[in-house]
Structure 1
Amino acid sequence: MSTSTKLSDQEQVSEHIAKLEPEFGKIIEAIRQIILSTSSEIGERIKWNNPSFYYTGEMKPFDPKEYKRDIIVLNLHKNRIMLVFPSGAKVNDTSGLLEGNYSDGRKLAIFKDMKEVKSKEQLLQNIIKIWIKLLDK
């Protein structure tokens, strides 16, 4: 690849996942597809050295340091995958999927394997849909 060719955000995410250990990569790809299939207004990119997902639609102006557009940033560890919702505390999650009580308002959803991804797919999509409805558009 020439140095002048810049990969698209989607290509960068695909390349990042392709570099992971294959079984781990399959789990990350499954989570990626669940998130992207939730809404046509979700985009993806590499942020903080990991795949991240954000709202692409119109929003009222805000301070970029508030990360209001960011839905999920993945935090990858060999034995667990953390989905960090920077503003997850605003979602009234009664399912128990979102964990943590952080002062900055973030919440986490933790997945250990493909079985958990499949069993929590609907919960994850529901939380994303609620999050999008709560946006200041």
Structure 2
Amino acid sequence: MEFKTRALTLIVRPDDIVDVIPNENWIEPDTLEIAKENIAAMQKAIDGKPRALLSRTPSIYFSKEIMLYYSQAEVGEVATVMLTNSFGSKIIGTLFLKLTGKSRGAAPIRIFPTSNRDEGIKWLLEQIAKAKKAI
């Protein structure tokens, strides 16, 4: 199953991981309208099931307003892995997660370098398995 927004493509994999891929042709900063569109697509992809998000960090600017909107949005995922290409964005992302408490909430978020994608997927599959056992 696949969902598209102007900024993202979301692919629901058979292992219940939703692959969140920034569209190559999207280079504009997210607006609140785009963020709402992206969150709505993620909610459709999760569909109330124990699914997790595998998200690539786009190389675009996010305003404080947009970061706050994304951090407060309820998608329904059991966990999220954010893949990043740069050490700087990993540090900023980790700080953001600690400040918002998202790294240890009901749907934890972890940041992995893109080179450790397989490790991130393994962690997501563990989180999905835990969520399915709890049902």
Give TM-score scaled by structure 2 length: 0.37
More helix by share: 2
Give TM-score scaled by structure 1 length: 0.36
If you compute each CA radius of gyration, which structure gives the higher value, 1 or 2? 1
